Amino acid sequence: MKPGFLFLLCLLTALLAGCSDSDGGDVDVDAPAEFVFVEGTIAQAHAAMRSGTLSCEALVQGYIDRIEAYDRAGPELRSVISINPYALERASTLDARYADGGLTGPLHCVPVLLKDNFDTVDVYTTAGGLALETSQPPDDAFSVQGIVDAGGIVLGKANLDEFAFGFRGSSSVRGQVRNAYDPTKGPGGSSSGTGAAVAASLAMTGTGSDTGGSVRVPSSVEGLVGIRPSLRLVSQDGIVPLAASQDTAGPMCRTVEDCALMLDAMVGFDDGEYSNQREAFAYDSALIETADDYRTVTGVPETYTGYLDADGLDGARIAAIRPLFGDGEGDNAAVQAELMAAIERMRDAGATVDVLTEDDLAARNVSIDALTDFDSNSRYEFRQDLTAYLMSWSSAVDQHPRSFDAVEASGGYEARNEGTFAFYGAIGRAIENTDDDSEQAVAYRAAYERNLEERPAIVRNGLLRILDNRAGNDLNAQALGAPYDALLYPSVLSLAPELGDSPNAGSNNRLSPFSGFPALTMPAGMVDDPDPDTEGEPALPVGMELLAREFDEPTLIRLAYGYQQTSEPRAAPTFTPELATAEQDTADD
């Protein structure tokens, strides 16, 4: 059991004992707690177990039933690649342990759907590509092991934009994921399956990986809370890489409190070869070599749930970055309007929210274009990093390909990605072959070196000038007001796109990976699609992103929970109701 879990169990017990209903009245602690799958939370599941109305097996079977009803049939979301064949066996074991001693951890019997680029010993890890459809790593990813140690159950693997390439959300293994709110719309990506499945309550929580928006984009268009942690907070061991210097894993959930519990389980120091935690990310980021260094540098708390403050917005200071809000054209107008409404809700809850214009940023010596005018490192690192991952275990049993070149040659991916493999392959070879003195190869190596050496400092310093509210990098530079706790901007500039298209992410998604700072996306609210041809269609989520200083996830959780509790911005999808209700509706027809 990881340090702090006993404390968490005590905290959860206290929280459950003091729960109140949505009207503010005291809950009848003698009344049996019935678990409802649609929008069901970890605390609600544990309360039902304590009252004797829910077993772990019933919980896991209920989610499997929902996958069969809504992912394989019904709206056919195509969000789940595989179901863990040992999930029910694990549930039975946890039921026996619960009977002996109660909850086994903060995630006791929480069915978690993993993006299918997280290694698991029980289920193939395909990254969405047919080239890896029989790939079976020998152990769980470090973060997955943390989830299991906390009592969680790997329910299965979620579909994704194959190899985490983009925001469309389709793969050669399972096809195109559909949006849970409107199956004619796209789910974003690359963690598209996790986003759609968790939004539709096909799992209690999920995981995603984020290189340049892959947790935050699908979370935005699916109405979820998604956290891209600070670089190095979560080990990257056992996660199929896209760009090791930018990749990180994070939780995707329907509530802030469930994401806080997931983050507790996923963090921790990993001394393994592929953790990507020990190297300093930037000139001002301290080196991590030991578990003590990790605790000192990251300041990781006993539990992130300690920052679940319903009054978390009271007294908060937030800078809304107006140049990141979009051009106001098309459905971006609806996104902007909902973000401005969210700002007013924050102010009503006691927050100071300053809307900073381009002139305001110029006074802080910041240009948004200068912060975002860099390439993603995926183009420079994918070839080398994928090969290193595939070489990390023997192919004697599963016969998985052992290199990028082998994957590319196999053709085991969607035809639309042939050009991507060719592009990444050409750049990767130029980076690796320092004897290639062609003009193009030299330019690639120079651009990559600039990304590694200049980009972190430029982006971090620019963001810190805004957060610290000062005119220059010098700590003695003119203060333009009190510092801010976080920056705010739209996670995505558009609503969910038509199926097969990608949402308009703009350049907002780049700030967190280019700086290494943490970002949390959450629903600002729900809006009707402004397209007149879609009148009468379901409301769609609008996501807003909060960005804080390095390793300041606690502030993000405090602000997000305060907004969630005061604004209740999320609504459940209508296409995936409680199964009993769906069956009754069919009978009534």
Domain borders along the chain are: 36-320+486-588, 378-453
For the entire predicted model, the pTM comes to: 0.93
What percentage of the chain exceeds 90 in pLDDT?
88
Cα 31 from Cα 47, distance rounded (Å)? 11
According to DSSP, the residues that pair with 347 across neighbouring strands are: none
Catalytic residue among 79, 192, 214, 285: 214
Query: Would you state the pLDDT for residue 2?
Result: 47
User: Of 15, 40, 19, whose CA–CA distance to 28 is shortest?
Assistant: 19
User: Of 434, 540, 518, 481, whose CA–CA distance to 186 is shortest?
Assistant: 540
Confirm if 44 and 36 have CB atoms less than 8 A apart: yes
Structure tokens at 448: 């990559």
Q: Is the pLDDT of residue 532 over 90?
A: no
User: pLDDT-based confidence at 501, cuts 50/70/90?
Assistant: very high
User: Of 249, 267, 257, whose CA–CA distance to 4 is shortest?
Assistant: 267
| DSSP state at residue 93 | H
Could you count the other beta carbons within 10 Å of the beta carbon of residue 107?
28
Q: What is the DSSP string of 292-347?
A: HHHHHHH---S-GGGG--TTTTTT-EEEEEGGGS----TTHHHHHHHHHHHHHHHH
Catalytic residue among 115, 219, 235, 567: 115
Q: Is 190 a catalytic residue?
A: yes
pLDDT tens across 64-112, in order?
Answer: 999 999 999 999 999 999 999 999 999 999 999 999 999 999 999 999 9
Query: Rounded to 10 degrees, what is the CA torsion of 255, 261, 552, 240?
Result: -100
What percentage of the chain exceeds 70 in pLDDT?
92
Distant-in-sequence contacts of 281-287, Cβ < 8 A, 24+ apart: 281/231, 281/232, 281/245, 281/456, 281/516, 282/456, 282/457, 282/460, 282/516, 283/456, 283/457, 284/457, 284/460, 285/232, 285/456, 285/516, 285/550
Cα 512 from Cα 210, distance rounded (Å)? 10
| DSSP state at residue 275 | -
Is 36-320+486-588 in CATH node 3.90.1300.10? yes
Query: Would you state the pLDDT for residue 17?
Result: 40
Query: Rounded to 10 degrees, what is the CA torsion of 491, 497, 503, 504?
Result: -90
The mean per-residue pLDDT over the stretch 325-346 comes to: 97
pLDDT tens across 358-391, in order?
Answer: 999 999 999 999 999 999 999 999 999 999 999 9
Query: Would you state the pLDDT for residue 33?
Result: 78
Cα 265 from Cα 483, distance rounded (Å)? 31
Query: Would you state the pLDDT for residue 530?
Result: 74
Q: Is the pLDDT of residue 543 over 90?
A: yes
Query: Would you state the pLDDT for residue 286?
Result: 86
Cα 583 to Cα 66, 203, 577, 580, 588: the distances in Å are 12, 20, 10, 5, 9
Any idea which of 226-240, 416-430, 465-479, 529-543 has the lowest mean pLDDT?
A: 529-543
Q: Is 214 a catalytic residue?
A: yes
SS3 category, 557: helix
Arithmetic mean of pLDDT over the chain: 92
User: pLDDT-based confidence at 534, cuts 50/70/90?
Assistant: low
SS3 category, 502: coil
Q: Is 438 a catalytic residue?
A: no
Cα 310 to Cα 26, 518, 548: the distances in Å are 17, 21, 19
Query: Would you state the pLDDT for residue 6?
Result: 40
The mean per-residue pLDDT over the stretch 254-283 comes to: 93
Pairing mode, if any, of strands 317-321 and 170-171?
Answer: unpaired
State the residue for tokens 């001693």: 101
Q: Is the pLDDT of residue 121 over 60?
A: yes
Alpha helices for 494-571 (secondary structure H)? 511-515, 553-567
Confirm if 193 and 209 have CB atoms less than 8 A apart: no
Query: Would you state the pLDDT for residue 284?
Result: 83
User: pLDDT-based confidence at 31, cuts 50/70/90?
Assistant: low
| DSSP state at residue 397 | T
The mean per-residue pLDDT over the stretch 527-545 comes to: 82
The distance of Cα 486 from the centroid of its chain, to the nearest Å, equals 18
pLDDT tens across 252-264, in order?
Answer: 999 999 999 999 9
Catalytic residue among 79, 190, 201, 378: 190
